[in-house]
Structure 1
């Protein structure tokens, strides 16, 4: 009975995460860069919830804990506006007319996967009293879900025929970033952070470097292309 109650509590926590994202979706302007990412992340989290219900995650407690710890890092940024370096480019450029929706979506994914996910793995290990290796299956399943969503995101947000004049530079810019590579790098970073947990100064230094590097990639992804009138922006 205690295990069932604990599971129900965690499922309700996933529901709470979804509810908070829906509030953001209802309050943020549609074209806002954070709103664009939030719609993507809400769809991913809802899909996670559906797959959880079908038993796709054998260790449900680990999967839910990782999902919630992961989401909480984004929600703190979106709700409180006090971002680490990796999120600052998206917040700074969120209303720039020369940045396309696909750029906003992938810049958010870059910040969240490249930085937040590594810290969420460490958070989850501390919560559950386990090692990163114990979470590898759940990490991979969540990562597979994100990869499957990325193709749909690109199809939904890529410019249509009426915007072909910017398709080539956008394709070139976004082709330099890969979710698969980001996920692999994040797993390595999570393992390194866990190994450094007994050396807080080194762990902080490593985490700060990761944050800055991911932020730089995000700034590149958000390079303004053209404004709505078709003119090149600065």
Structure 2
């Protein structure tokens, strides 16, 4: 891809210590850092809306809070923000985010593809790790947070719907033979969520074996990144 665009870091950004800015405030700071109308901007705005809908407590949850109503969603958002902050600082975010961060503006890649690539990175990698983070914080096993996982899945489905509504070309511009039609239909949020739950359970069982757990995480990250790059296949 020919032109690389990195998000500029907002003033005072960086991974805050416990007691720092709540996740929702950090996401609001990033909202204006993406090119208006682009796939990354739509993804971020829609995701912020999802986080705001999680629970009124989400604006108060910090790193040491143990409020299960919003904890999983906050842990997910922290993973996303960490990738943003790493990329803005010139570092190397997880492989799953590299197709989107820095955001590549290619004339053949449509905004919908960038937004779906971000959603794929989040579900394909971050969600499983957020489940493990949540279980460690609450001192419980994954089945005990399965209800919150399903609730988070419903909110991610709302995010996907919002992305499609805002970025999917209308029928006049998108024929049945358009490559974008086939590319978008090849990815399933439901299948990605199922894989994330399985990955979370495996990572939880491997917690006593850090080297194996890290190897599994890296392979999960690489696989999510591969799918994300495929979603960015030029369509015009």
TM-score interval (norm. to shorter): 0.7 to 0.9
Counterpart CA distance in 1 for 2:159 and 2:44 is: 14
For 1:28, the equivalent position in structure 2 comes to 34
Report matched runs for 1:8-19 at 5 Å: 16-19=22-25
Of the structure 1 ranges 162-171 and 137-146, higher mean CA displacement relative to structure 2 is found in 162-171
- The 3-state SS of whatever aligns with 2:234 is coil
Counterpart CA distance in 2 for 1:85 and 1:122 is: 19
Deviation, 1:44, is 1.3
Report matched runs for 1:32-181 at 5 Å: 32-49=38-55, 61-81=67-87, 82-161=92-171, 163-164=173-174, 168-181=178-191
For 1:219, the equivalent position in structure 2 comes to 229
Preserved contact between residue 89 and residue 219 of structure 1 (Cα < 8 Å) = yes
Counterpart CA distance in 2 for 1:167 and 1:155 is: 20
- The 3-state SS of whatever aligns with 1:35 is helix
Counterpart CA distance in 1 for 2:73 and 2:135 is: 13
Larger Rg computed on CA atoms: 1
TM-score (norm 2): 0.80
Of the structure 1 ranges 62-71 and 33-42, higher mean CA displacement relative to structure 2 is found in 33-42
Report how many residues are paired. Answer: 208
Gap runs ≥5 in structure 2:
1-18, 60-65
Aligned-CA RMSD value: 2.5
Of the structure 1 ranges 175-184 and 142-151, higher mean CA displacement relative to structure 2 is found in 142-151
Gap runs ≥5 in structure 1:
1-12, 54-59, 227-234
Deviation, 1:31, is 4.5
Counterpart CA distance in 1 for 2:207 and 2:119 is: 26
Counterpart CA distance in 1 for 2:163 and 2:177 is: 15
> 2:208 matched to 1:202?
no
Deviation, 1:127, is 1.1
Structure 1 residues 167 and 40, CA gap change in structure 2 (3 angstroms): farther
Query: Which structure dedicates a bigger proportion of its chain to helix?
Result: 1
Instruction: For residues 133-180 of structure 1, give each alpha carbon's deviation from its aligned partner in whole angstroms, at most 9, with x where no partner exists.
Output: 110000011111212332232122101356336972111001110001
Preserved contact between residue 85 and residue 212 of structure 1 (Cα < 8 Å) = yes
For 2:16, the equivalent position in structure 1 comes to none
Preserved contact between residue 86 and residue 111 of structure 1 (Cα < 8 Å) = yes
Deviation, 1:92, is 4.9
